[in-house]
Homo-oligomer: A and B are copies of this chain.
Amino acid sequence: MIKHVVLLTWKDSTSQDQIDAVTSAFRALGDEIAEVVSYSFGEDVGIYRGNADYALIAEFQNEADLKAYVVHPSHQELLSNITGPILDSFLSVQFGAAE
């Protein structure tokens, strides 16, 4: 199993509606792409300062499935149309989960 983690920081001008659109888009994407084993996402709850704004955790059986997800047209569209316009920065890791 491989876990794909992305932490996203939005531009200061980002509206709550645009963030809600990200949540809706991730929800649809997680359901659409067969390779996704588990998919959780959400806004930072604001407990600690200096955090990113949003997190996505996706799980895949293997690297091939992760790569299929990354290049999937719907994922690419989400990057271009939903997260891209409001994205300031992101940081990611993919790891083989040692539990």
Q: Which A positions have Cβ atoms within 8 angstroms of B?
A: 2-3, 5, 7, 23, 27, 38-45, 47-48, 50-55, 57, 63, 66-67, 91-99
Contact = CB atoms under 8 A, between A and B. Distances in A.
Contacts of A44: 93-95
Contacts of A47: 63, 66-67, 94
A98 B39 CA distance: 9
Contact of A3 (B55, B66, B67): B55
A69 to B, nearest CB: 12
Copies in the complex: 2
B91 A45 contact: no
A66 B44 CA distance: 14
Nearest to A70: B48
27 contacts: A3-B40, A3-B42, A5-B7, A7-B91, A7-B92, A23-B98, A27-B98, A38-B99, A39-B99, A40-B97, A40-B99, A41-B97, A42-B95, A42-B97, A43-B95, A44-B93, A45-B95, A45-B96, A47-B63, A47-B67, A47-B94, A48-B94, A52-B93, A53-B93, A55-B93, A55-B95, A57-B57
